[in-house]
Each structure stands twice: as structure tokens, then as C-alpha cells.
């Protein structure tokens, strides 16, 4: 089945993107007014879609265990809240996270392929992917070789994604385009098409290490690429904006955009994720505000 679609598509035939038009459409999403029950429902949905992330050189097993605890128990004082979708770490900490999360149902995502730059030989990237999966990663967040993509060597990028997909041995593959380095929405759209045809289960905006990270316009272009790919092949690819989504209001804008672009079938953690480290607490604060009518001090929410 995969073989049938593993052909490099003609990227020159991919529809063009008009940045002014994209900005106008985004402005319509951000002017939606989400209040009352629909807001509480959205906030809970956001929590369930978070990939709680720590990707620092100074990460320790202790910090990862702490994060896993948070992932499972976001705010136990308020019953009925969901847990996050996944915890996202470096390959060396996958085993720690896997053990800490146990049978909670929370996935372990590992970045791989010389994250964040992707500047390593392909065999190293393949090996790294295999190690992460071997340690128990359920999901692999890979980066594309932006250098090759920008140079127009689409076949190399395509083959590499396909190779990592194979090395991931069934683990969910999220392909990071690092849109902040692509330079135009036209390229974002083409990179999305390329990644999906090469086998991506999710496409993801950013590593979080490059500015700008996720933006609403970039995410809209990727969602539209997902929609058209689905229309063409019937396969539903997921979307993960990552980096820069720090507050609940912005996260709700993303949900509005998701709902009005891809519809209900994508409104689930299986098809949409937020890559974020500080989003969860703001969402929790807003939930408390909605339910109690008052803002609570930030000290009532654990910082991990």
C-alpha cells in the first residue's frame, strides 16, 4: 500500500499560496468569539492534544520524571480533566519517560535525526531513529534536511523521510518542516506535500529552536495541504504546530482553524497535537477561571 504512494510528486504542480489571502483567512479565525461551554470544551480538548515537551541540553532523568508526573496529573484538584497526549524528549531519555508513564496511555515521543538541525549523515539518522524506537518511543519527531530542500534536491529529502519511516518500524512518524527556515508559504505547502507522500503520519511546523516557530498562517497552509492530500488519497495525516503557542487563547484560535478547515474528524489527539512546554498551565488557569469565575494565582499550578 505504501509502495503505491511512495513516489515523489510533481512539486511544481502544487497549488500556489497567496500570503495576503492566507492572512485574511487567519483573521477570520481569530475573530471567532469562543465563550462559555464551547470555551471549556475547547480548553479540555487543548489539554488532551498537548505533547508536553522538554528538549534542553540540560535535561535530566529527574526532570523528565517530573514532566511525566505532570503529564498524567495535570491538576488533580480539578477532577475530570484529560491527560496530555504525549511527552516529547531526546532519545537518551526515552526509556526514563517510558518507565515513568507506565500504562497511563500517554505516548512517548522522541525527536531524532540529529534534531534540531538535521545536519548528520543519513545512516546516523537512521541509527538514531532505531535506537529511539528500541528504547520504547511510540512516536518519532524527525526533521527534514532543509539544506537539501532549499537547494531543490527534493528526491533526497523524500528518500530520507521514507528511510526514516522504515527505520521507525511502525512508530508514528512526525515530520518537522522547520517552516521558519523555508522562507515562503509556497515552500511550506510543497514541503508538506512531499512529506505526506513520503509517508509522514503527522506534519509538524517547527523544532521550537528556530524563530519564527509555529504561526497560524503556516499552520493553515499545512492544514489545507493535509485536506487536499486526503481528498486525493483518502489518507488522514495529522498536524502538529510546535513552538510559540504559549497561551490558551492562541491555542483556541488553532482549534477554530482546525475545525473550519478539516472538520470534526481531525479534532482528536490522534490527528492534532500542540508541541508546547508552557501552554498547559495557562489552559488550566483559564479552565479554573471559566469554572470559578476567578483567576487563580500561578502558584496554584505546578511548574515542571
Binding interface with other proteins (CB under 8 A): 15-18, 20-22, 24-25, 31-39, 41-42, 45, 224, 227-228, 230-234, 255, 259-260, 262-265, 267
Minimum CB separation of residue 248 from other proteins in Å reads 15
Nearer to other proteins, 93 or 251 (CB): 251
Minimum CB separation of residue 156 from other proteins in Å reads 27
- Of the candidates 271, 261, 257, the residue with the CA atom closest to the CA atom of residue 48: 271
Cβ neighbours of residue 241 closer than 8 Å, sequence gap 6 or more:
204, 205, 206, 214, 218, 219, 254, 274, 275
Across 185-214, b (16+ Cβ under 10 Å) vs e yields bbbbbbbbbbbbbbbbbbbbbbbbeeeebb
Active site residues: 141, 204, 240
**Which cell numbers hold the place of 17?**
499560496
Minimum CB separation of residue 132 from other proteins in Å reads 33
Minimum CB separation of residue 175 from other proteins in Å reads 21
Radius of gyration, alpha carbons of the chain: 19
Long-range (24+ apart) CB contacts under 8 A made by 229-234 are: 229/192, 229/193, 229/196, 229/197, 233/5
Minimum CB separation of residue 137 from other proteins in Å reads 30
Nearer to other proteins, 93 or 185 (CB): 185
Nearer to other proteins, 34 or 120 (CB): 34
Nearer to other proteins, 17 or 194 (CB): 17
Distance between CA atoms of residues 257 and 217, nearest Å: 10
Nearer to other proteins, 111 or 177 (CB): 177
- Of the candidates 152, 139, 140, the residue with the CA atom closest to the CA atom of residue 114: 140
> For helices 122-134 and 154-167, what crossing angle results, to 10°?
30
Amino acid at each position: 500500500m505504501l509502495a503505491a504512494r511512495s513516489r515523489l510528486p510533481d512539486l511544481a504542480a502544487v497549488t500556489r499560496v497567496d500570503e495576503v489571502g492566507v492572512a485574511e483567512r487567519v483573521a477570520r479565525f481569530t475573530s471567532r468569539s469562543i465563550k462559555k461551554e464551547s470555551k471549556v470544551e475547547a480548553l479540555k480538548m487543548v489539554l488532551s492534544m498537548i505533547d508536553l515537551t522538554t528538549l534542553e541540553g540540560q535535561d535530566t532523568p529527574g526532570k523528565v520524571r517530573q514532566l511525566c508526573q505532570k503529564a498524567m496529573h495535570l491538576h488533580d484538584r480539578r477532577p475530570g480533566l484529560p491527560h496530555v497526549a504525549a511527552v516529547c524528549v531526546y532519545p537518551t531519555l526515552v526509556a526514563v519517560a517510558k518507565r515513568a508513564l507506565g500504562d497511563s496511555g500517554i505516548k512517548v515521543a522522541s525527536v531524532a535525526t540529529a534534531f534540531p538541525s538535521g545536519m548528520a549523515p543519513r545512516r546516523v539518522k537512521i541509527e538514531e531513529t532505531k535506537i529511539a524506537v528500541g528504547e520504547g518511543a511510540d512516536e518519532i519527531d524527525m526533521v527534514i534536511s532543509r539544506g537539501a530542500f532549499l537547494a531543490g534536491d527534493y528526491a533526497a529529502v523524500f528518500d530520507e523521510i521514507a528511510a526514516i519511516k522504515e527505520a521507525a518500524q511502525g512508530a508514528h512518524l512526525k515530520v518537522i518542516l522547520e517552516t521558519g527556515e523555508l522562507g515562503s508559504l509556497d515552500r511550506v505547502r510543497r514541503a508538506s506535500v512531499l512529506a505526506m507522500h513520503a509517508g509522514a503520519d503527522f506534519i509538524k511546523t517547527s523544532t521550537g529552536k528556530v524563530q519564527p516557530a509555529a504561526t497560524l498562517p503556516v499552520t493553515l497552509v499545512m492544514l489545507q495541504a493535509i485536506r487536499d492530500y486526503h481528498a486525493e488519497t483518502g489518507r488522514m495525516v495529522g498536524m502538529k504546530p510546535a513552538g510559540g503557542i504559549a497561551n490558551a487563547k492562541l491555542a483556541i484560535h488553532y482549534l477554530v482553524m482546525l475545525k473550519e478547515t478539516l472538520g470534526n474528524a481531525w479534532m482528536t489527539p490522534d490527528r492534532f497535537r500542540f508541541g508546547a512546554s508552557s501552554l498547559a498551565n495557562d489552559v488550566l488557569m483559564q479552565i479554573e477561571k471559566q469554572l470559578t469565575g476567578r483567576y487563580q494565582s500561578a502558584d496554584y499550578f505546578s511548574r515542571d
